A and B are shown apart, each in its own frame.
Chain A
Amino acid sequence: MKHILPLLSLATSLSCFCSVRLEAQSSAVNLNKSNAAYADQPTFPDDHKLPKPVSNQLLSASTATPLKSILVADVPVRGRIAADNGDPLPGVTVVIKGTTVGTTSGADGSYSINVPDGKGTLVFSFIGFLTQEVAINNRTTLDVIMGNDAKALEEVVVIGYGTEKKVNLTGAVSTLGMKQKENMPITNASQALHGVGGVWVNQAGGKPGQDAGSIRIRGVGTTNNNNPLVLVDGIEYNMNDINPATIETITVLKDASAAIYGSRAANGVILVTTKSGRKGKSEVNYSFSHGIQSATFIPDAVWDPILYMQSKNQALRNEGKTVVDYSDAQIEEYRAGMATNPYAYPNRNYFDEIIKNGYLQQHNLRFSGGSDKIVYSLALGFMDQDGIFIAANHANRYSLDLNTSANLSEKIKVGATIKTMYRKYTEPAQGTEAFINRFFRVLPIFASYLEDGSYGSAVFTTPGQNIIANPYMTLKEGMNEHASFRTLTKIFADINLPFHFTYSANLGIDKLDGAADDVNGASRQFNPYMTTYHPLTKAPNFYNPTPYSYIYNQNNLNLSAYHTLSWNQKLADAHNLSAMGGMSYTKFDNSFSSSQVYGYFDNSLTDINAGSINPQVTGRHTEDLLLSYFGRVGYDFKEKYLLDATVRYDGSGRFRQGRRWGLYYGLSAGWRLDQEAFFKNVTALNFVDLFKIRASYGELGNQAVALYSYSPTVNLGSDYAFNNTIAAGAAITSAVDRDISWETTHTYDIGTDFSAWNGMVNLSFDVFKKRTTDILRQVNIPAQVGGLTGPTRNIGVVDNTGYDISLSHRNTIRNFKYEVAGEFGYVKNEVIDLDDARVVGARRITIEGYPLDSYYLYEAIGIYQNQDEVNNSAKISNAVKPGYIRYKDQNNDGKINGDDRIITGSTIPKYTYGFNINVGFKDISLSSFFQGVQGVDLYPTANLATPFNNGAGVTNEWITDSWTPENPNAKLPILTTATGATENFQPSTFFLRDGSYMRLKNIQLKYNLPVTLISKVHLSNLSVFANGENIVTFTKFRDFDPEKTITQDNLYEYPSLKTFSFGVNATF
């Protein structure tokens, strides 16, 4: 007992390990079936071999010897204890009622207890769950499902540089236990955040190896970098580079609670905590899943060659051309040729041939366990994914994660976390976006292979299709590989000091080699020699006559060091005081180099060494420095009145001297009404488990501008060649504002947490306002100022106001359990002040009084039905004819020009939501997760969004639903080419599309095999499952998958994927 006391104080001051410690203490407390303070009531005689909870961790089978074996004629009772989601529950205390005889369940949830005469009642208790009493009735097998007990929820949440009991949180914090997402075919941790309240995840496309979603927390506060700060076990890190299967929990700090991260916190902070070992029996967990993947959406292109040619001709005639692309004789020739010479006159659907089913398989193997002195978790992960194109889209990921810590003494604990990952993926030689751009230009008349196996071009030339991009060729030739190796090593030491002080020192070393995510930098690329041949004349059409080889290598070393001193103390049994102070220093040393060389004879040699002509090298080294001081003070009175204050003082090398230091802080307070006497004492209110009101205010920063943005520089590289001799040239290429400094976000939040009927109903509701001032934006300036790129400036004020709701209900009725949970977020974005300036792009505008990057378009008011209508209205040009789009002359000046544009639409979803519906019966569970956004608009353009874009093909919609005199109410204007009738393809509301959608993100059926069966093969848990991912989507958007990059108007993204997968999860 004596050992435990100091531990208690230590536990509350230590960071990540806290949660488990508290559980351990609590389970010990439960042993004596009393909720009274632990220290006051030593229950067990000294000779009881109480498992020593010295160093925390759940009690488990190996150490949990029966508490007392004093009985005669014992009958063994065995069983398995599971949570209501079917997961085995280790550490559950099982006691024979009225005795002190008991045991605890093992890692697999199984227990065994000797019961006198098979009579009596077993009491199952575990922290966080409702205690159950079950009469034995001579049974020898007794499986139990434990229901959650919200009242007893002692769940601990990781917050900045510490932890907090969830019920006592005063900030707006969302947490996600990865258990919820277990077995789902998630390839990137960001995908797990779909549906977390107040978080908008947009996963544009499912490109293997590069399918991270973009994450926006509570709207978009800046026009600059909007990515939240992500810390993995306390160190800034990239979500792409961790194996999602090794994550324990994810905490999202949405309001002033992020202020402890100061200048990087304005976009919210995501804290990822990875799985660590637990003291107890060694455990081996293995999971495997295999999925089949296919595209959710592929444009519905016309593939009938005759229909295509006729439509193209019609489009040209419609726009006033008298010479068309395909003569009648050619069309007839083609029609005849299809029967006799399919090499030259193909009739095929290229999308069907180039797109196949992909697969995704993941293996995860984890060893964990520990003793009093040391705990460990060692995880190995392997992912193998082959995309939906027939080549050049393969991804692999190999990871190794080791978490371990050791108690050197009662006062000192040291540990290390090592996360390594090697991942690589392939792309078409010229990049995915470029490939898809060309792929969406493939015409039905393109040949694929000729008889001799060479790549074919097309029997007829088509204007705009000068270089035939045979998709077989562009996929299969050459290579483009991205690979990176990254290791995050964190070492730490926690030291207990006298007077309730704890010191913690942490050092993170993050080493990256290679280049996985750099768009420009494939690690290795060979841009091959590519030529197609005319199917009849065999005349070559040179796609790329000059092959080159390219290598790019990134070499980053990021050092993060922080240390904290914390103290906490309970005074007069009522005042809980805590304080923490610390500082950190972060240094990002980034460098890259690349080489490129030409002069390859063919595609057989691809190394840089084999090239001979025009070698080029680039390289750069940068440093990014951040020095910070921070602190937190917490106080609560009997867990009734809660106060929390944080402060951070950040200095950044991204700004000039004098503008470098910024002060940030957050204040929050909570009031637990349920702890008030007036609440507690009213019987009618006893159903309430938790009722808390909280409020916060904070100021957070955003320093994410390009390095040296403040420094006016003269760039080299504007070279010129006099008489074919290159002369170095230099120029100032951008204007600079020397005085730029942090953006500051002022965040206000009022919220409530409510829980009732032992966790059957839970509700959280937050109203927030985020005001970002001094937003940093690279502004455009008129070209007359030297044609310079505009400076990055602190230009304005943006507000995000809204609310988040999270509501859940779960219940267990005998063997049937169900859960309904939803998250809903609303955010309204508005530019408050822009110094009367406006930022106008081709289709978007940022201007006061409207959301950031609103659409700025001509207002389409229908289609001209006849020449009279054309004659009697303002037109964009004199080429306008019946069937063309009619634009509104907003200022009635008789002209349609830039002054007639209106501000409309939204590039930021107003509503984001997600909800789960889970049901379970005995060992079978079915869970479903829906997710969606509402109130966002998309503007699809270019190949296959607009018809015959510069020689590209067309979708069927333009054939069946475009204006003709006979079809005056068509959805689309008269069929023309996009490049030939530019009047119809001006930025206008006509093509602005509602991008809202709701999709069944995941549905999972899982079966846990009975313990009685699997224990025979020494398994403690075995489940089999099947998943469907992205299988149903409800949307009005018809041009592409709606979950695309909103600011990228073309469709050149890797398609989103739907996945059907199955797998097993086994624990030994």
Chain B
Amino acid sequence: MKKIFSILLSSALLLSCSEDILETQPYDRYTEETYWTSEKNAVAALNGCYAVLKEDGIYGGTATPLWEETATPNAYNYDNSFGFNVIALGTQTASPANSGEIINNRWTDSYRGIGRCNTLLAEVDKVPMSDALKTQMKAEAKFLRGLYYSLLEMYYGGVPLILEKPDVATQAELPRNTRAEVVEQVLKDLDEAASVLPAKYTAAADKGRATKGAALGIKARVLLFEASPLVNITNDLSKWTAAASAAKAVMDLAPQAGYDLFSNYRTLFLPANENNSEVIFDVQFKAPEQTGNSFDLINRQFNTNAPLRNLIDAYYMKDGLPINQSPLYNPAKPYENREPRFYQSLVFPGDTYMGAPVTATNPFKITGYTFKKYGIYDKEPSTIILNAGQSETNYMVMRYADVLLMYAEAQNEAVGPDVSVYAAINKVRQRAGLVPFEVPLGKTKSEMREIIRQERRIELAGEGFYYTDIRRWKTAEQVMNATIFNSQNQAIVKRTFNPARDYWWPVPQTQRDLNPNLAQNDNY
């Protein structure tokens, strides 16, 4: 009060305008100028780069990876969560009405991550701290930048390649680079990250950070995409070789990093076994202190990733044979004598779920099925009810089984089904509990290709990888031009897939509205 009057008085007399009394500043945020001054701050900025992994467009939000499965013959998203059903139907557009949907979000969130990594890479050298830590942090940021850019190039093709700190003036109007340019940068980032990052961390508080194996694993995934028919039109075998050796590099790291398949396929996906030996890289969810994911809610109640009959039929019988080859299959009792992963991943009519019997329409009305993979619920009743954002199960971006299957696929394509191919796939089948687990010897390259693809589909079912698999294999135009069925073999809807268009997502119209220099993908 006194101050006010003295201000009034002095100003009335002198009519001087002092800037000081107008000076105010926030006390709940740092200004950019003063931020890059301490190790703590720099580490927090790197954590902010990781945090983007939890966004809707990447691996987080409600259940993005689970829903991505619904753009494949594996599952069905009846209410078009994040726009995945529209993609499944082949009716996706660049339309602005899709804001909030995956085609927009993946673009935006990837760049959010990229921007944060670019900022860290640009600023971290200013910070007074040890060079070793700076080098380590830069390697983590490069890993993440490579990961985020890999999402962009695999879904949209070429995108603006921006490596500097976000700047509206210089970056807002940049056009798309070619996909090759983006891939080259992704590989460069991942290589540089792999050369610095440790095989594993000793401190518990560092579990979940990017490792050498993570960088090499994502590199293998990127190279596998490059080698696959969608983009490797001439089937350049050297690309398969490159992919195989990248995967092999992860396998070679196994003793040092402690990688191995986790013993139990069911519990591999439970929060109790987070950070187990099979994890190459995962998104570390935590609830309730943070917003977690909604995997449990989606599986238990929403049923928006409802498994389809087509996936049910793809599982082996317990003898390791497909249903059309195994004597164990009884069409009247289709859920009997199936392989263990079937029972460890799915809930089906006649099963028990949370203590209650499951029928074809109750409680999973959509198809009669639900996934139990990545959910805590099983046959037993549960008193823990997890709703939206309350699940903290880590999502495995890459696990060792994936590496083995990538290796098998690439090696088979590069040199044919050699011993190492059999060894890799058999290792996965052995853990799965198939009896016998061995793939019979003497398969041709193309027979082996089908076996590997089948194995990939089942082993990784419900985890969100199959959509990119069927695109890179260029099989989507067959498997997605199909009617989908529920547990009673009733047709649900007919899907379409336009091979001239649907292998790539459109550049979101909102982005093109903001930057008219962004060219659109073909036929959108």
Contact = CB atoms under 8 A, between A and B. Distances in A.
Interface stretch (B20-28, B317-325, B470-478): B20-28
A816 interface: no
Interface in A856-908: 856, 876-879, 895, 897-898
Contact of B26 (A542, A614, A711): A711
Given A461-B365, A561-B5, A720-B51, A708 B44 contact: no
A895 to B, nearest CB: 8
A505 B5 CA distance: 10
B116 interface: yes
Nearest to B523: A895
B515 interface: yes
Contact of B79 (A464, A561, A661, A716): A464
A289 to B, nearest CB: 41
B378 to A, nearest CB: 17
Interface in A765-805: 780-788, 790-791
Contact of B205 (A723, A838, A856, A876): A723
A651 interface: yes
A787 B112 contact: yes
Nearest to A613: B288
B234 interface: no
Contact of A951 (B79, B173, B490, B514): B79
A876 to B, nearest CB: 6
A649 B16 CA distance: 12
Contacts of B45: 714, 729-731
B17 interface: yes
Interface string A449-493: 000000000000111101100000000000000000000000000
A724 B514 CA distance: 39
B285 A661 contact: no
A781 B493 contact: no
B290 A726 contact: yes
B8 interface: yes
Interface in A701-737: 707-708, 711-716, 718-732, 735
Which among B22, B114, B116, B119 has the highest number of chain A CB atoms within 10 Å?
A: B22
Contacts of A660: 19, 22
Interface in A638-684: 649, 651-653, 657, 660-661
A660 B171 CA distance: 29
B391 to A, nearest CB: 12
Nearest to B356: A539
Contacts of B28: 620-621, 716
B4 A784 contact: no
B95 interface: yes
B512 interface: yes
Interface stretch (A4-12, A316-324, A572-580, A994-1002): A316-324
A652 to B, nearest CB: 7
B427 interface: no
Contact of A714 (B31, B43, B99, B171): B31
Interface stretch (A113-121, A279-287, A622-630): A622-630
A850 to B, nearest CB: 15
Contacts of B168: 735, 781, 785, 790-791
B114 A786 contact: yes
Interface stretch (A92-100, A264-272, A434-442, A982-990): A982-990
A320 B493 CA distance: 6
A563 interface: yes
Given A784-B111, A785-B172, A986 B51 contact: no
A559 B7 CA distance: 13
B17 A627 contact: yes
A545 interface: yes
A467 B303 CA distance: 11
Contact of A785 (B96, B171, B385, B490): B171
B291 to A, nearest CB: 10
B411 interface: no
Contacts of B310: none
B68 interface: no
Nearest to A505: B8
Nearest to A655: B22
Interface in B5-19: 5, 7-8, 11-12, 15, 17, 19
B498 interface: yes
Contacts of B43: 727
Interface residues of A, number: 102
B460 to A, nearest CB: 24
Interface string B157-178: 0011010011110011110000
A802 B1 CA distance: 45
Interface string B227-253: 000000000000000000000000000
A876 B44 CA distance: 45
Contact of A724 (B284, B486, B513): B284
A169 interface: no
Contacts of B131: none
B499 interface: no
Interface stretch (B85-93, B330-338, B339-347, B414-422): B85-93
Contacts of B286: 721, 724, 726
Nearest to B100: A842
A509 B16 CA distance: 25
B111 A783 contact: yes
Contact of B31 (A539, A563, A711, A719): A711
B206 interface: yes
A727 B47 contact: yes
Contacts of A325: 365
A842 B99 contact: yes
B493 A321 contact: yes
B125 to A, nearest CB: 17
B41 A467 contact: no
A897 B95 contact: yes
B94 interface: yes
A321 B492 contact: yes
B204 A723 contact: yes
A466 B366 CA distance: 11
A77 to B, nearest CB: 56
Which among A627, A720, A725, A841 has the highest number of chain B CB atoms within 10 Å?
A: A720
B226 interface: no
Contacts of B35: 714, 730
A856 B95 CA distance: 12
Contacts of A649: 17
A402 B434 CA distance: 86
B91 A879 contact: yes
Interface string A582-594: 0101010000000
A786 B111 contact: yes
B32 A732 contact: yes
Contacts of A985: 97
A616 B291 CA distance: 12
Interface string A960-994: 00000000000000000001101101110000000
A756 interface: no
A878 to B, nearest CB: 6
B387 interface: yes
Given A653-B23, A784-B515, 5 more contacts: A466-B302, A787-B115, A876-B93, A951-B79, A986-B97
6 cross-chain pairs, A with B, having the tightest CB-CB distances, nearest first: A786-B115, A787-B112, A786-B166, A721-B286, A729-B47, A731-B48
28 contacts: A320-B493, A322-B492, A323-B492, A461-B363, A541-B301, A587-B4, A616-B289, A627-B22, A651-B19, A651-B22, A713-B31, A713-B32, A714-B35, A716-B30, A718-B51, A720-B51, A724-B274, A727-B43, A728-B47, A731-B48, A783-B107, A785-B166, A786-B118, A843-B96, A878-B90, A898-B94, A898-B95, A982-B80
Interface of B: 1, 4-5, 7-8, 11-12, 15, 17, 19, 21-33, 35, 41, 43-45, 47-54, 78-80, 86, 89-91, 93-97, 99, 107-116, 118-119, 159-160, 162, 165-168, 171-174, 204-209, 274-275, 284-286, 288-290, 301-303, 356, 361-363, 365-366, 385-387, 390, 392, 486, 490-494, 496, 498, 509-515, 518, 520, 523-524
